[in-house]
Each structure stands twice: as C-alpha cells, then as structure tokens.
Amino acid sequence: MADELDQLHREPLPVDLLIRSLDLYADRTAVHIGDAELTYGQLRDEISRYSQAMAALGLGVGSPVAILSANRPEVLFTLSANLVVGVRGAALHPMGSLDDHAYVLEDAGIETLIFDAANYAERAADLAERVPGLKNLVALGESPIGTNLLAAAAAQTPGPLRAPADLDLDAVSSLAYTGGTTGKSKGVMMTYRGSATLLRIQRAEWEWPAEIRHLVCTPLSHAGAAFWNPTAMMGGSMVVLPGFHPQKFLEAVQQYRITSTMLVPTMLYALLDYPDLDKYDTSSLETVFYGASAISPTRLAEAVEKFGPVFVQFYGQAECPMTISVLGRADHDLAAPHRLASCGRAVPWLHVALLDDAGNEVADGEPGEICVRGPLVMKGYLNKPEQTAEATEFGWLHTGDVARRDAEGYLYIIDRKKDMIVSGGFNVFPREVEDTLSAHPAVAGAAVIGVPDEKWGEAVKAVVVLRDGHTVAAEELQALVKDRKGAVYTPKSVDFVDRIPVTGIGKPDKKALRARYWSDTTRQVN
C-alpha cells in the first residue's frame, strides 16, 4: 500500500519531462551539433537505441557511470539515455588532468567509463591502469579499447521510452565534483528530488525567450547539458559548438538567430574585447544567462550598453546548483548601477538566510554567510560525513559566500568566506577590492589575495591583467582603492600579469594564485 501511495503522489522527474518533450515535439528541430541537425523524433530514436545498448551492457538503476567527452551528438544521446536507464552519473571535465580524473573515478566508485574515442582513448587507457574499480570501458566510436557504444546502439531497434519505475526520489541520481580550489574535490550527491526541483526553478524563475534557440559553447557534459531539458520542455532548439571562441560564437548567433545563451564572465569579457564584435548581428539575443563566478559590475555595464538589457544572472553552487538567487533582465538597469554588483534576490522555492558564525540571522546591511534550506540542497558529500556535517551546521547549507542584503532583498556577495584576508586585525573581502580595480578603464581583470607579511600578518596583493594597449601605474590603482575603500583595503602591492589562472569551470583559481606567494610557508594563514 505504501508503494502505491508513493506512486500516487510521485512528482514528474526530469526523465518524465524529457520523454514528454521528445514525443510532443517529434517533428521539430531539436539540436544542431557539428554537421548534424536532428529532430526531437530522431533524438528519441537514438536515445532509445542507446538506452537498450546500455542495458545490454548490464547498466541499470544506480549503476555508477562517468562520461568523458568533447561536445558531439553522442554525448546528448548518452546523457539522455542515462536518465532513461537510471544510472548514477558523474562527468569528468574535458580539461581535467589524469590525476583529477583518477581521483574522481576512485572517490565515486565508478565502474563504467563512457569516453570519446576520438579524443580520450589514451586517457581512458591510462585511467583503466590507475583505477582498479573501473571494470567497463565504453567508447563513443571505434577504439582499440572498450566496447563501441555507437555500434552497439546501431544494432538496436527504437521503441517507446519509459522512465524507470523504481526510482527513489531521495536516492542519489548524480554526482558533481566541486572545483577543488581549496583542496581535494568533494563529490556532491544530488537526488532525483533535487534535480526535479532545479528544473522547476529554471522554468519558473529564469527569463526564457518565447521562442528558444539556445547556443551552447560550454561542455555538454557539464553546464551545457543543464539547458537541454528546459529548452526541450518548450520545444526549442539548441546549437552546440565544440567550445567557446568569440568569432565562432558570433557567427553562430548571426546564422541561427540565437535567442538565448549562457556565458561565464570570462567569455563575456572576451566578446566585449573582440575587435570585430560590431561586424556581427546580435540583435536576436533576448536572454544571456551568466553565472559560475563573480562578474565585474563595470564590465557588466559595458555589456548592457552593447547588447541591451538581455542579461539574467543565476547564483548557486554545486551543493545547491545554479539557482539560489536570480538577477533578472529588469534589474540590469544602468540608471541603478549599484544593482549590477548584486547576485539578485532569493528564489521563493528555497529558504535563504544570512547567518553569523553562531547560526543567527544578521540584520539587513550586515555581512553574513548565505545559507540555504530546501529540496535543491545536496544530500551530502560522498563518503565525507564530517565535511557534510560542517557544511550543514545549524540545519542550513553553508555556501561559504559572505553577502549583505539590502532593504529590497537584493544580495551583494562581498567574498568567499575562506578567501577573507585578515590584515592588521581587520577583515578585508577581496571581492570589494576586485570590483574597485575593475572599474579602472585600463583593467581587464583583477584577482586579490592575501600574502604573508611580517608587519600586517597578511598583506593585500592585487594581481591585474591590463586591457590591450593600456598602461597604468600601480600607484594609480592603489590610490583608486584607497579613495573608494580606505587604507585597510588598499593593496600593498600590485603585480601585472598576462592572465589570471582559472579552474576547469572558468573560476579564478585562487589556490593556484596563492601558491605563488605562499610556497615557502607551512600554512596558508599568517
């Protein structure tokens, strides 16, 4: 009787919604990727074939599977088939190192690796040697190692798609590994309930165009795939590029009359700095989603002036993916430039509070850590109960982001909690210094860290990338910060570099940056 009641009240899951879309919009174009143009009906048939081939390999509900691939049509087939079969999926970032990949496979207990034969056969072979628990290699294409999934799928006859009947909503559906900027990556466990909540919030709170033609230029195995189901629910189409390059991006926008896309801030900066930007017609863009890392308010204002009020920011993290808060198109108002430094207002589907170190809510205007409760929050870190307990102290997920909330409910992140610099007994939040430096017309990007200092304990250091053809003295930048933020926030030193290191997901890699200056110390605080 209990099982019957569970089925009676079971909410539609992403797999149910995807199957509905594939049937409902069978004759519409679903995706352009490489030389392929596929309708929803054609995709449905491929997903059916892949699902059957995966089941024939012994994969089923809960099977631990990872994928490593460049952007190609078969990735979309495979990821969708993963939903239909019910495997517990994880993705290896295409730019990750062998050590990083081996760590994820071992930590996640992955038994099956699906890999892109054209680009990652050698890496798959190396991983098979390194990871004893890796039992099955499955290749997307002909490969000297592993089973050819393309050939196995081609031998199947397409049939109706049906979601697994025995899914526990609180079971782990996928693992996402944190960027690892402050140590070993942690496997974030997302449940079926959580993934359904994410999709609901995406559809309800993100501002999608009425007609979706969405451009993907990030890895399909990561951020790119997050846009597939929302696009399919509206019968829209996706155009998938191998990666991001300003010219290729702009050509695709113009050719396909793209109405929506997603960019990380570094991609947006590259577009703004691209000398031939004005040669392309980008007037079709209605929504440009951005997130994944902090954005310079000054450069965001440039983008609004260039592309119009088309920007929508989503703020979240792996532990509460993508949408804790949203800054909508109307909020990107150049008449209220301070708002461009905000990550928006909390979505109504979650409980969001700013807490002090004792777990008490802080008053508006005071700094506090963004903490979250709700069905979107992770189940925990895989095999890390102590770190899970620490991250969920007081019954809240602690994001590690310190923010202030204004009287209208807008959140302003001033830094990652662990990035805070203590200089001469004063707390300095690097984000505030970075935003000030980025406002200078000669500055293309800036990262601020604390470095060991005999007098101050930690001294504020700015690492700055200049725009092409521009110069500025360090003293001028220091004076700018001193004028706007005061002496405590003023960098004691400024280093000019060609680039700021970033992680595999495009965030400034503060760990790598700090390593340059803390390598001779035994600890990372001073």
How far, in Å, CA of 173 to CA of 63, rounded? 10
Is residue 315 very low, low, confident or very high in pLDDT (cuts 50, 70, 90)? very high
Task: Provide the mean pLDDT of the chain.
Answer: 91
pLDDT in tens, 85-129: 999 999 998 877 888 899 999 999 999 999 999 999 999 999 999
**HEC profile of 116-155:** EHHHHHHHHHHHHHHCCCCCEEEEECCCCCCEEHHHHHHC
CA angle at 317 for the pair 313 and 320, rounded to the nearest 5° = 105
How much is the average pLDDT of 266-291? 95
pLDDT in tens, 51-81: 999 999 999 999 999 999 999 989 999 999 9
Q: Is the pLDDT of residue 181 over 50?
A: no
Provide the pLDDT for residue 457: 80
How far, in Å, CA of 436 to CA of 163, rounded? 51
Q: Is the pLDDT of residue 1 over 60?
A: no
Fold for the domain defined by 421-518: GMP Synthetase; Chain A, domain 3 (3.30.300)
Is residue 149 very low, low, confident or very high in pLDDT (cuts 50, 70, 90)? very high
How much is the average pLDDT of 280-292? 95
Dihedral of alpha carbons 519, 520, 525, 526, sign:
negative
Q: Distances from the Cα of 365 to the Cαs of 353, 408, 415, 418, in angstroms?
A: 13, 11, 15, 20
For residues 286 and 36, the model is more confident at 286
pLDDT in tens, 322-362: 999 999 999 999 999 999 999 999 999 999 999 999 999 99
C-beta separation of 201 from 349 below 8 A: yes
C-beta separation of 478 from 491 below 8 A: yes
Q: Is the pLDDT of residue 182 over 50?
A: no
How far, in Å, CA of 274 to CA of 418, rounded? 34
Token reading at 240: 């998938």
- What letters, b where the CB count within 10 A reaches 16 and e where it falls short, cover 426-453? eebbbbbbbbbbbbbeebbbbbbbbbbb
Where helices occur in 33-147 by DSSP H, the ranges are 40-56, 73-85, 98-108, 117-130
Provide the pLDDT for residue 138: 98
Fold for the domain defined by 15-194: Rossmann fold (3.40.50)
CA angle at 158 for the pair 156 and 160, rounded to the nearest 5° = 135
DSSP state of 329: G
Is residue 521 very low, low, confident or very high in pLDDT (cuts 50, 70, 90)? low
Find the Cα–Cα–Cα–Cα dihedral 502, 503, 507, 509, rounded to 10°: -60
pTM of the predicted model, to two decimals? 0.84
User: Looking at the DSSP assignment, which residues form a beta bridge with residue 65?
Assistant: 89, 112
Provide the pLDDT for residue 358: 94
Percent of the chain predicted with pLDDT > 70: 96
pLDDT in tens, 459-477: 999 999 999 999 999 999 9
Domain segments of the chain as ranges: 15-194, 421-518
DSSP state of 509: -
DSSP strand pairing (287-290 vs 260-263): parallel
Percent of the chain predicted with pLDDT > 90: 75
